Amino acid sequence: MTKMVAVTACIAGIAHTYMAKANLEKFAKKNGIEIKVETQGAMGMENKLSEAEIADADVVIFAVDTNVAERSRFDGKEILTVSTSEVVKDGEETIKEAIARINN
């Protein structure tokens, strides 16, 4: 099974951070992909990804509009960076683009 991890973070750290998380989870499930999403929002870092989860991931999605805390944790991984609004508008396309990164 394909495994992904993601980080979502918007400027305000409220709506788009959590809407992006929900869309990534929805469309990953629809496409048979295991995903865990860490949010970095107004409430701080939630659902923090472990080193093992990052290591096991085939690809990392950054759905972000601001800086990501502890970004060096993802060094060496295949990374797709998009805005939170892109994921909110078309989360399925983001998942498909991430899958394409794995298959190349």
Cβ burial, residue 20 (10 Å; 0-12/13-18/19+)? buried
Query: Around Cβ 55, how many Cβ atoms within 10 Å?
Result: 12
Task: Collapse the DSSP code of 73 into the 3-class scheme (helix H, G, I; strand E, B; otherwise coil) and give the result.
Answer: helix
Judge whether 6 and 35 are in contact, CB under 8 Å.
yes
Active site residue 98: no
Which of 6, 7, 10, 28 is an active site residue?
10
Give me the active site residues, please: 10
